[in-house]
């Protein structure tokens, strides 16, 4: 693991040193946490506290990010887990059927179920009583539920793989369409990494050796696009988000708990079902809100102290804890530490 990290760091240094010479770093995003430029298709993970190449999402079940190095392995896991659950479901069904076959008698007016030990010779090694039947039925439900849930995740992953995207990039593409439609710019956003063939896209992730193609830094792109087409669109979306964001001031303290009891019943029961964090608020804090729900808002709080280095804290907070400032746009008063245009 350490060897792989050293090699990756060396490749990034070599890669970006060459990019600085060609002035291509003006198209790259800068990660303030990692204190370095992000490679194309890379994103910073708050859980892992590092930038991940070709990040798809952070999976809490494997306690790791799904990205360039393990996208194929994670997808195979999503395939094999439902198959194993289907096999387990078949075993549970056949076990309950064989054990109950001689114990259930159906009549015209009543149903008699005998859950005592088997009345046959030889006796089973493990008596199939009421507790064993309940445990088997519960395990069958878990197996079927896992099959459906994980199977749907596998289908979603295969859809993005066959278009050579990640879940994050699919969301970026949707936001690009919304941005173009909102401003009526007339431009057309073409996803640069879709090779136009499902088989070619499939081979970008799955290989016979198990090692994905490329180095995670340079990617083959479609005609008419270049390596930074997606990054440029991300920079446009971030600039648009700053323009359309609204500034609020905290009027109540908020501890940052997931389901606050003291902020009202509606706020408690409508807490966002997401892994995104909550941010604590103190009366008088300034928050730049970028999106929101009926009772919750998402934004960032600027930490102005020198110890924090101007790092912004992002997360959800209750709407009733803030009020809109007189200057309601980020453009009316720029935020300290805002990234300058390069």
pLDDT tens digits, 185-202: 778 888 888 888 899 889
pLDDT at 7 over 70: no
pLDDT at 342 over 50: no
pLDDT at 254 over 80: yes
Q: What pLDDT was estimated at residue 114?
A: 54
Please give the Cα distance from 205 to 226 (Å, whole number).
Answer: 20
> In the predicted model, what is the mean pLDDT of the chain?
78
For 33-72, give one letter per residue: b (16+ CB within 10 A) or e.
Answer: eeeebbbbbbbbbeeeeebbbbbbbbbeeeebbbbbbbbb
Confidence of residue 104 (pLDDT cuts 50, 70, 90): low
Is 197 in a helix, a strand, or coil? coil
pLDDT tens digits, 320-329: 999 988 755 4
Please give the Cα distance from 31 to 28 (Å, whole number).
Answer: 10
Superfamily name and number for 245-324 = SH3 Domains (2.30.30.40)
- Could you say which of 31, 34, 59, 225 is catalytic? 59
pLDDT tens digits, 189-237: 888 888 888 998 898 889 888 788 878 788 888 887 888 888 888 888 8
292 has which bridge partners? 297
4-18, 34-48, 251-265, 302-316: least confidently modelled range = 4-18
Range among 154-163, 238-247, 296-305 with highest mean pLDDT value: 154-163
pLDDT at 277 over 50: yes
* Verdict on whether the full-model pTM lies above 0.75: no
pLDDT tens digits, 32-68: 888 888 888 898 888 888 899 999 988 888 888 998 8
Of the chain, the percentage scoring pLDDT greater than 70 comes to: 77
59 in active site: yes
Q: What pLDDT was estimated at residue 151?
A: 93
DSSP letter assigned to residue 38: P
Q: What pLDDT was estimated at residue 105?
A: 47
pLDDT at 335 over 60: no
Q: Which helix (H) or strand (E) holds 298?
A: strand 296-302
Maximum CA extent, the chain: 88
Please give the Cα distance from 194 to 223 (Å, whole number).
Answer: 10
More reliable by pLDDT, 1 or 49: 49
pLDDT at 340 over 80: no
Q: What pLDDT was estimated at residue 2?
A: 40
- Domain chopping of the chain, boundaries: 10-68+166-237, 70-106+124-163, 245-324
């Amino acid at each position: 693991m350490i060897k792989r990290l050293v090699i990756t760091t060396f490749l990034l240094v070599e890669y970006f040193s060459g990019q600085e010479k060609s002035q291509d770093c003006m198209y790259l995003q800068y990660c303030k946490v990692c204190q370095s430029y992000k490679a194309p298709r890379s994103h910073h993970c708050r859980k892992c506290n590092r930038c991940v190449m070709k990040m798809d999402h952070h999976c809490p079940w494997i306690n790791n990010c799904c990205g360039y190095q393990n996208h194929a392995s994670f997808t195979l896991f999503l395939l094999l887990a439902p198959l194993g659950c289907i096999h387990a479901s078949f075993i549970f069904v056949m076990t309950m059927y064989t054990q109950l076959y001689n114990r259930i008698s159906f009549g015209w007016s009543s149903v008699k179920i005998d859950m005592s030990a088997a009345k046959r010779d030889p006796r089973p090694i493990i008596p199939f009583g009421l507790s064993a039947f309940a445990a088997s039925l519960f395990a069958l439900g878990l197996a079927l539920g896992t099959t459906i849930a994980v199977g749907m995740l596998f289908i979603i992953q295969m859809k993005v793989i066959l278009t050579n995207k990640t879940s994050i990039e699919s969301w970026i593409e949707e936001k690009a369409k919304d941005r173009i439609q909102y401003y009526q710019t007339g431009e057309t956003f073409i996803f640069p990494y879709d090779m136009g063939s499902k088989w070619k896209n499939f081979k970008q992730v799955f290989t016979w050796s198990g090692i994905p193609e490329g180095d995670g830094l340079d990617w083959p792109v479609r005609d008419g696009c270049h390596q930074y087409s997606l990054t440029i669109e991300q920079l446009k979306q971030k600039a648009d988000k700053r323009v359309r964001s609204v500034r609020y001031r905290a009027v109540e303290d908020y501890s940052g708990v997931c389901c606050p009891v003291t902020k009202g019943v509606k706020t408690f029961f409508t807490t966002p079902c997401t892994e995104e964090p909550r941010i604590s608020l103190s009366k008088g804090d300034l928050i730049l809100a970028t999106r929101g729900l009926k009772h919750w808002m998402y934004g960032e709080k600027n930490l102005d102290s020198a110890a924090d280095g101007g790092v912004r804290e992002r997360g959800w907070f209750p709407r009733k804890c803030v009020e809109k400032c007189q200057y309601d746009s980020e453009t009316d008063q720029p935020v300290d530490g805002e990234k300058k245009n390069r």
